[in-house]
Amino acid sequence: MMRDERGFTLIEIIAVLIILGILAAVALPKYFDLTTEAKNRAAMGAVAEAKGLLNLAWGKAALSLGGSPAMSDVAAAMPTNSATLGDFTVSYATAASSVSITASGTAPNVSGGTASGTWTLP
């Protein structure tokens, strides 16, 4: 007496494996691109924080000096060459009327993330 057994055929299983392989080949590179982009965007947040700190230093100098402060007044209020802002090391390079800012990730979850920006005197 034979039972009526139901299941997947070999062709159906192979088709599913091929589809899963194609999805993995497409999805994994996209995932790694997204993680790199997320690290760089987080570094942009650190650059924005540094710009905010420079704006704050400029505002404090403007209030204490009673006018529009020079770049040397703002530079006196900021860290010498670099500072640690959360998971990032932020480097400053002062020019005549601007500051170049570079942030790079130091924590394992943002390691490799970098961004740069420029703050100019208002």
Question: What are the tens digits of pLDDT across the range 83-122?
Answer: 888 899 999 998 889 999 999 999 888 999 999 999 999 8
pLDDT for 72: 87
Q: What is the pTM of this model?
A: 0.74
pLDDT for 33: 82
pLDDT for 2: 61
Whether residue 1 has pLDDT greater than 70: no
Q: What percent of the chain has pLDDT over 70?
A: 96
Average pLDDT, the chain: 89
Whether residue 15 has pLDDT greater than 60: yes
Average pLDDT over residues 55-70: 89
Q: What percent of the chain has pLDDT over 90?
A: 48
Question: What is the three-class DSSP state of 8?
Answer: coil
Q: Starting from the edge strand earliest in sequence, which strands make up the sheet with 98-105, in order? A: 82-85, 88-94, 98-105, 114-120
- Cα 43 to chain centroid distance, Å, stands at 3
Contacts of 113 by beta carbon, 8 Å cutoff, 6+ apart: 36, 38, 39, 40, 41, 42, 43, 88, 103, 104, 105
pLDDT for 120: 94
Sequence ranges of the domains in the chain: 10-120
Whether residue 4 has pLDDT greater than 90: no
Cβ contact 104:114 at 8 Å: yes
Rounded distance between C-alpha atoms, residue 7 and residue 117, angstroms:
60
